[in-house]
Structure 1
Amino acid sequence: MDDLQIEAMLHELSPLAGCAVGKIHQPADDLVVMRLWTGGRNLRLLLALGQNPKLHLSERTFANPFHPPGFCRLLRARIARIQGFARAGRERIVRIDCAGPKGDVRLYCELFGPVGNLVLADAEDRIIDALKRQRKGTENRLLLPGRPYHLPNARQMISLFERLPEIPASCRDADSFRNWLTTTLWPMSGAQAAVMAAEVEAGQTAQEVLETFRRQLLAGQFHPVRMMADGRERIVVLPPAAKRDKKARSLSHLLDEKSSPPNGTEPVEDARREIDRALRKQEKKLRRRLVRIEAEKIQKEGHVLVRQQGELLLAQLHRVKKGMTSVRLTDYYRQPPGPVAIPLDPSLTPQQNAEKYFRLARKYQLSLEHIERRQRETLDELDWLEEIRLYFEQAATPADLTEIRAELLAAGLLAASCREPASRRRPTGTPALNRAKTPSGFTLLWGRSSRGNDALTTRIAAPHDFWFHAKGVPGCHLVLRRDSRDIDVPKADLEYAAAVAAGWSRARDEKSVEVMCALTRDIGKTKGARPGQVTVRRFRTLRVSPLRLQPEATTLEND
């Protein structure tokens, strides 16, 4: 929120002074929702402190955590009624004056910087606690319990609430006027300055534009609208007269509709960033693990050489004496035989040194089996992540992001915002599927997520249905349904289904793709495998050109 949006929001929230606080929730780490009772209706005040922090009323509902976090419990214990809203200093800070069972408190909403913050202080501005404690920085900005709360240093700008400044003679054109507005006056925003500069460019004088703006600001004549400003659509709270017929219901309404939550707690953009960050972090972790495993594998693959050294010691034991640190023996495994130096433990007898090499060889061999198993598991997890990445790139709706996020949460790759029972973190509901028809009318179904693929292959597909998957690349599981195994499917329909499977795979941009075709009865699932990971016992391949078909949405209940 910019400075002018904060002024407009304070004007909008001023009638709520004296309302009761029914409940306070913290659906996410950087999101607090206060349920207010005005005496006639319930409202939700949203305090979003993530990227682009903001404060406004919201009509959205939120999935609340099973156990409220500590800061949320503190707010519940100290806040029972809102006494008023005010601006704190010239920074983007809103002070909410509150009353509670333990006396009056002040909740400072810091809406500046990369991310926002909430600071709860007593009536003497001594910090009770902060949503995000700040232990580093200047002495005045340490946000820790027990310390006094200080506002940031005031910006040295001319306040329009105090006086109307004279416009310098140097501001002769729209660009210089706009630059003067943003660097000299407070409150001001880049979008508002662009709108006012456009009015000057249209023929009005800069003095007229500034006087009109200040008069509307002091009178609180805010009319928030979406309009083009500075080359893109922005929210402007004091638009020109020509735009005032497009008034929205409120600034809260405009801010609320910008965020369409995929899971009831986060805007779509935040969910995308969170999922992308989790995928990149896990992919990087697994690739580092593969490098370490490969190095260990190379070392342990020397178990044959270690065993040979033990056998050479046994065969030439008469040449080894206790106390030797190494011995040169004839290596009969080389052609032609040649000398080889074998390190020894001087504290062991010759027989014990040979046994030590045999034990080490057995240990290496067992370790190698374990390493190869870890390598297979890591590669399988990378394949699964690559499939998740594909569905993430193809996600077209908030529901798709919700499905992906729930799957990552269940896999432990995303931390729950607040502590919840495991049952609340498992993916629930029916996964969405895509549906289409072949030229001959056979039904095609394919998954929109790994969980959807898993459900389709293991639960909904009949043993006699045909199953398709792009070979060697991440992609959907596609099933061509038929009523019985006695029904013949034309080759053209099989190739059509294979083309759709290729179109919904990582190879969708290739000219020709090899696709596996099998009966569902030949598809198996290994115990402990992740959703969507299967084994194919028998299959044939079809080479087709990918077809990116636009499907109908369906769910398992429909089938």
Structure 2
Amino acid sequence: MVNSYYTLRALAREWHADLEGTTVRDVYSQTKNELTVALSGAEQDWMVRGSVQRPFLYLFRRPGYHKARRNVATLFEGTIGQSVAGVSIADRDRLVSIELGSGGRILWQLFGARANAFHVAPDDTVVAAFQRHDELTGTAAPEPYAAPMPDTFEAFEDRWKPSRNKTRQAVQSAVSLFGGDLARETLHRAGVTTDAPADCTAAERRALFEASMALREALQDPAPVLYGAGQFPDAFSLIPLRHREDEPAERFDTVDAAVADFVRRTLAEQHFHRLYDPLEEALESAAEHERRSAERMVEELQSESRAGRYERWGHLLMAQQDQVPDGAEEVELPDLFEDGAPVTIPVDPAKSPVENAEHYYDRARSTRRSREEAEGRLDDTIEQAERAEALLQALREIDTLDGIKAFRDEREAELLPFVERDDADVDDFPFRRFDLGEGFEVWVGKNARQNHDLTFHASQPYDLWLHARGVPGAHTVLHRPNRDAEPGKRRRYVAAAIAAHYSKSKGSDVAPVMITERKYVTSPTGADPGVVRVDREDVLMVEPGLPE
């Protein structure tokens, strides 16, 4: 990951020589949740850009200086004009600083639910904060916490957690600065295939420890790689990964260049999905709706006309008024049109036989009109369904940002009946999001790919994971602002109702929703995106719906 400690450390080392001696020219934000520090040098200007918006936290730089002319305020005004003494990172912590000649610094905190950026005074108090400025100004700056890293096998053993679901997770617990890919690489290089950490032998654990130490040594001399084919990368790695050696890969000479390219292409991918996903969802829904409407029309037209039945009931009531008792809710009369066979007719006890007959004549006329309208609408409905399906098929052939932009522009008129054109003006946050107050939020995936990203990349182990039980539906996360924050009963039920709403249980009066901490949700080996295994769960019974 581009915001791992090892990547940030490598960036700080590469940047130090270039940025030392530059001057802070400007500090501003023209992209939501992203802070830019513009630096002027004798030979080169730089923009250092950092995002504090989960799930994609990043820090990278670009040459030059570009700022929108309007509606972009200057931030951290006390830093403007100060010289840069260097770039540093806290020991084994993701706190990156642009050190200022005055003794202060611009500090990025690139982890957790409250990632942020600060102007910090020489006495380590916050002069200004990018997020939650009023709350944090004048408080102590974040203090570094050196993540424990085992340098001996004994220390590795002490941190080994056999209770974890997978051996990979136990490696991440033992070697706390390793993310998922480095943990997988550790298993690969150690030759350990045992799935459950409790089943790992002492020899396997020692092999894992030695592989982790070899990786830590390799990380001292980065050789960055981007993995994946096509416009959008699958993964960034600071070193070549043997467990990915069969995948398409692009190598870079510097970490700086690799990170900048990965961030640029990942932001393009997010933009792609903000344009693509609403179209796909709308066209899928439209095609299904129109097809079902057409099927109902065909079924209606193929069945015996209800208009004839209502008209016959009206005739029978008019012809046999004296056979209808007062206050009856139904009456059985001989069918004068079918050899006298008895027919049961529902009637309104508050109406006379004549009024009931007139009611059925009205229903016959109305039904006949509806049938005629259905006959006229059927061809249009089928044609509309075919148009939606053709657009959907064309959309699914697009896999680039330029392609989706061109598709939306060139086929705007065709798309208009199915989607609203303002769906691109959305929050940069990739998931559906609902604010429940006090830092609690509900995040909902929009498709299988997003479900996987939400569950295994964006959420924290202590977040609550929800899914409608027994039916297809979206992965839903009740995000906690920190591991000790308790959402309470009301927020749990609101989150469960949201999860049920975005599932096949949406139309039910009440639906079961499973809820568990995200750490109990795993992805089976080789499973498709979005397929999970839940080891522990509670069930909430809720009415599907969205908060008002």
Larger radius of gyration: 1
TM-score (norm 1): 0.46
TM-score (norm 2): 0.47
